[in-house]
Chains A and B, each alone.
Chain A
């Protein structure tokens, strides 16, 4: 066994840290703020990464990628998430919209989208969840009603992250009703400036831009907008979401903030209750476990033996660790143990941000209940 980064991996990690240090200001805590300069910083950072082919490390070189190994992709995820995701809203396009277009798109769609995603020039949002279709996504009702050669889309999406800043939407709509609810769903690639699309931001504790409603009012879509086959969208969604087994490397930000706590609290650290410090030490161990579970999935990915249950086990642990760490750190700063300097203030803001975002960890990208179902199905599927 060997649990160290390869030489290439270690070099990549150093390179990414240097890039973050040189390109991002200390105050950057994510692109989703009320200050438009944060989004601008993120977009510039994406261009820097794109120049190195590292915005889309997993992609084949022919589409502007670096064909990097699953381990190098993991390093990228860790370094980016730990530093408050300097890629901003690129996550979705890069991680699964692009690969889905590679796999199912027409030549024209590949030509139109892939280079722009790889260059960091475009932001995508996903038109998935609806008021009546959350975890049970296949129950979606947004309808694409046949009209001449194409369709008119009517309906409402909700919880749509980045919709306020997105250029394109990966939209799921129902084009027919089959025997099962999974049948008759079609994927459309729709520009967000098409007439009839209206975005309504939702004010929320997680902060601006994360949650929005998107209304489709007789939006015209054509055959050219369809990804893959009409009525066959569900299989695309399933495969597209499987592109990201591990998802966000939440444990990496936990790791960074937990390690920063004693430094930021400095001489106030000793005055913390022993019980709180013990929770902190335990959280460090649990964070390590979450990281190792991610590595378990990645190793299996490399050998082609990964099972949905492995990713589910990782997510069950990692999302709860995110919340555990958030609680520990909030207790630490709420004890007012943190100092008054700029760094201490920033740390307090970082913890505040982490806590708010961690609340969604067990809800977003497949709730923890869905992960439990996936895991138990495998455990109990056969004697």
Chain B
């Protein structure tokens, strides 16, 4: 048993995080919303060697890719890092995303027009993206675009990683949001003392942090399952998405509540993280759809656990 990411992966995560901070941090997402091109991010990550990672060929690369996704999430990076790293460039798949049907949308689809995108339906099929529509442009889906798809074919096993890596982006987002919240509780004074001294807030923070830890451990487990090709990997990836959505809801609710009105202002980074977590949480499926799919997958391939095999259970066999 080894439940920690490799030292190499953690080191790369720090390198990426430092580089993104140096390049402007949250300024990058502000610029993207204003319509500025994303060339800087692509080049910066290329220089670090991120696009040379091959998670589908090497578990070491896979752990590094997940760590990069987490670093990207910390700044709500306006670039499809997870989708690119889940791709298979050798077979012409530069970026891949699971999409909702019948109206497929992809977050960040038009930020890098040179990429050859593929869409997945989450049920074993893939189709090339043949054209990208205009950005939805809503406040909560500023960078999401409708896409038109070509002919469907078998997904070639792309789906589990394509579901898993965006959860690592979300993990970076919620981890950063909770860090900001914790800091705010220590800094902000009300009734003559720091918010951190109010037990109601301490307890809510503790519950949220515990939930986040559970999600983080599940993210690592799922990554291991997907990278090592465990029989339940496809089920595990849906299970991770369910946990990611539950956790994001809890963390951002706690964050917004504790920040008060300040948390809605664009001068706080929480506002950007919260807003840009939305497309990841709604696409390709929100909570209900994810739960329905989870049941469907668990009923066909059981969730691997200590007691998945009930064949020899004393209660079943009697002896």
Contact = CB atoms under 8 A, between A and B. Distances in A.
Please determine whether chains A and B interact with each other in the same assembly.
yes
Nearest to A5: B1
A299 B306 contact: no
Q: Which of B228, B295, B305 counts the most chain A CB atoms within 10 A?
A: B305
B206 A379 contact: yes
Q: Dominant SS at the B interface?
A: helix
Interface stretch (B29-37, B219-227, B259-267): B219-227
B312 A17 contact: yes
Contacts of B314: 20-21, 24, 26, 83
A259 B243 contact: no
A71 B1 CA distance: 8
Interface stretch (B50-58, B107-115, B182-190): B182-190
B295 A277 contact: yes
B287 to A, nearest CB: 10
Nearest to B311: A263
B210 A313 contact: yes
A15 interface: no
B303 A288 contact: yes
A346 B5 CA distance: 42
Contacts of B308: 259
Contacts of B292: 274, 278
B61 to A, nearest CB: 13
Interface magnitude class on chain B: 35 or more
Given A1-B63, A346-B315, A376-B203, A313 B209 contact: yes
Q: Which of A3, A9, A316 counts the most chain B CB atoms within 10 A?
A: A3
Q: Dominant SS at the A interface?
A: helix
Nearest to B298: A281
B306 A21 contact: no
A117 to B, nearest CB: 27
B27 interface: no
Nearest to A4: B1
A337 to B, nearest CB: 16
A264 B218 CA distance: 28
5 contacts: A1-B4, A26-B315, A285-B243, A293-B214, A372-B202
Interface of A: 1-6, 9, 17, 20-21, 24, 26, 71, 78, 82-83, 252, 255-256, 259-260, 263-264, 274, 277-278, 280-282, 284-293, 295-296, 298-299, 312-314, 316-317, 342-343, 346-347, 350, 369, 371-373, 375-376, 379-380, 383
